[in-house]
Amino acid sequence: MKSAVEELKAQGQAAKAASRRLANTSTDVKNKALQNISEDLIKRKSEIIAANKIDYKAAEAAGMSAAMRDRLMLDTARIEGMAKDVLTVAALPDPVGEMIEMRTLPNGLLLGKKRVPLGVIAALYESRPNVTIDISILCLKAGNAVILRGGKEAINSNRALVKIVQEAAARAGLPAGAVQFIDNTDRALVNELLKMSGVINLVIPRGGADLIKFVAENACMPVVTGGIGVCHLYVDKNADISKAVAIAYNAKVQRPTVCNALDCVLIHKEIAQSGLPVIAAEWAKAGVEIHGDKRALAILKANASLKVKSAVPADWGKEFLALVAAVKVVDSLDEALVHIERYGSGHSEAIVTEDYQSALRFLNEVDAACVYANASTRFTDGGQFGLGAEVGISTQKMHARGPMGLKELTSYKWIVFGSGQIRP
């Protein structure tokens, strides 16, 4: 353990040294690094797939669920998708060096904020190996060094991917040490990492609620937390029910294990009688289980083919991460707003309505990272928002909120061009 800690500290110092050079590396060199990474992912896909097979077999042997194994699995199509995403990020504007709010003061000082990298970013994440690529390329493009620590179930896949990233980046001229990989899944090393506030400028925990809570409570440096999504869909009395059905189905069923999946439908009493059975029937095609309040149960009990249960108090504010949805009939938009304020996690919330005022009130009054009118909560995603990828989805209010892409991995400094000015 002692030597592992020493090695981690050396990695931290190497990352810090690299970050200083990365801060002044040209956009061309950074983009070339990303292009190399994209090409090498394709060229070396057999290496990746071979390493991934080791992880996959170990996961099977350990009895990992099929859904979790699917998150872990890499094949040619997925690797090609990753390679394409890297090029998308390469094509985005470089956030570093952007001047914000530049102006000349009455005394002649020309000043503004210049966007600069944060420095060294540590990312702690779980199963999906593509996160290794997403976080590496976003950090590098934004001029940051990165320390990666993935889950043990993907250790072979991550090791292969990091090797490709490191070699491709070095070939483009990025400083050695820019991408560090903690090739050790001992949990105690995470504790050590969270103490390295002199080296690491930001920690991003990306995984389950336990990991996030542990990092937030124990890190000595700033943390951006997020990824816990208790997402509501409010179906207003003036909703277009066909939109409500499509959105409720997409948000609940398309990928139930992710943070932007729907957890709870709140439906106005005046539309519940006609609308709720249609939503429930559509859900039934995918086997969604409904935990309904009394009024919802009364409406749905006529259809014996539905999976319906009586909701318990713990169902409100629960992130199901499964084909289960809570449903509640409400008297008004106001009741829905109060429910969301009480039970939401500040991630993604949506209204379906054809009423202009209801839409604006919902968008203005709901306090969450992403608020939708007439669209699926599943859009809360860096790729979908046009950010190329994301290092995570922040549900805090400081620094960044929602999907975090390139800009969210930067800070700024004020630069001031003077000609001898002194303060009067």
Least distance (Å) between residue 127 CB and a second copy: 21
Residue found by looking up tokens 């699917």 in the block: 70
Q: Which of residues 45 and 237 has its CB atom nearest to a second copy in the complex? A: 237
Q: How many CA atoms lie within 13 A of 187 on its CB side?
A: 4
Q: Which of residues 222 and 277 has its CB atom nearest to a second copy in the complex? A: 222
Least distance (Å) between residue 386 CB and a second copy: 6
Least distance (Å) between residue 19 CB and a second copy: 10
Q: Which residues bind a second copy (CB under 8 A)?
A: 20, 23-24, 103, 105, 109, 111, 113, 116, 118-119, 201-202, 222, 240, 242-243, 246-247, 249-251, 254, 341, 359, 363-365, 367-376, 378-380, 384-386, 396-399, 401-403, 411-423
Q: Which of residues 31 and 395 has its CB atom nearest to a second copy in the complex? A: 395
Do the strands 231-235 and 348-352 form a parallel or antiparallel pair, or are they unpaired? parallel
Do the strands 289-292 and 110-117 form a parallel or antiparallel pair, or are they unpaired? unpaired
Buried b (16+ CB within 10 A) or exposed e, 324-341: bbbbbbbeebebbbebbe
Least distance (Å) between residue 393 CB and a second copy: 10
Distances (CA, A) of 383 to 255, 293, 399: 16, 36, 20
Q: Which of residues 185 and 257 has its CB atom nearest to a second copy in the complex? A: 257
Least distance (Å) between residue 109 CB and a second copy: 6
Buried b (16+ CB within 10 A) or exposed e, 68-83: bbebbbbeeebbeebb
Q: Which of residues 51 and 288 has its CB atom nearest to a second copy in the complex? A: 288
Least distance (Å) between residue 325 CB and a second copy: 16
CA 168 to chain centre: 25
Q: Which of residues 210 and 217 has its CB atom nearest to a second copy in the complex? A: 217
What tokens were used for 315? Answer: 């169902």
